[in-house]
Amino acid sequence: MADFFPPPVLPLAIRFDPHTALAEPSGPVVTRRISDLEGLFADAAAWERLRADGDPVIYSVASSPVPELARELPQSVTTIHPGDCGGEFFMTKGHQHPDPQGEIYLGLAGKGGLLLFNGERPDWIDMSPGMIGYIPPGWAHRSVNVGSEPYRFLAVYPGSAGHDYQWVVEHGMGHRIWRSAAGFELKSFGGSS
């Protein structure tokens, strides 16, 4: 079964397949369905309809085998499928790093965005192939597919950063991203389409 390499990790060439996004050599692969995102979309009835109607995969995260350990720099490729839940675009759960460290994302395919929130103000970075989004320490982050094709990006992060999902449940992300006539629009967290 795919897993992280034990240390010490030797110099390593990793190929991320451009069609499947799988790493070779491979680390863990996580798949998130709509049922894994309970309570995150504004429209609970739309969420329940999607869950009952096949529980679709919303995104997957394919990691390289570089371990999530201090001083290492793990990488992963996330693919978010196109679609929306009651008008709110498909997105990742979003998290804060318990050990406040920065992270970079590089857009690989499709059209997406990086929603950031430091507990006081939100920010948004448009993401497309070739764009780097920088996540500073202390900023929670969530990715959103605002296009009609899969949105895919590479993430590189300090191995000791960790993932705190409860922070986003408690604080929200400042904004929600809704489908609109112009493509997409950001509205404050309580807002709906």
Closer residue to ligand PA5, CB minimum distance, 127 or 181:
127
Instruction: Name, in order, each residue with C-beta under 8 angstroms of 71's C-beta and a sequence gap of 6 or more.
Output: 159, 160
Asked whether position 127 contacts ligand PA5 by CB under 6 A, the answer is no
Minimum distance, C-beta of residue 36 to ligand PA5, in the bound complex (Å): 9
Please tell me the total number of residues recorded for the chain in this structure.
193
> Where would I find the beta strands (DSSP E) of 66-182?
75-80, 84-85, 88-89, 103-109, 112-117, 122-127, 132-135, 140-145, 151-156, 175-180
The 3-state DSSP class for residue 39 equals coil
Signed CA dihedral, 145, 93, 65, 136: sign only: positive
Minimum distance, C-beta of residue 114 to ligand PA5, in the bound complex (Å): 10
Asked whether position 92 contacts ligand PA5 by CB under 6 A, the answer is yes
Minimum distance, C-beta of residue 166 to Mn ion, in the bound complex (Å): 14
Binding residues vs Mn ion (CB under 5 A): 103
Q: Which entry of Mn ion, ligand PA5, none binds 143, CB below 5 to 8 A by partner kind? A: ligand PA5
Q: Which residues bind ligand PA5 (CB under 6 A)?
A: 61, 76, 78, 92-95, 103, 141, 143, 155, 157, 163
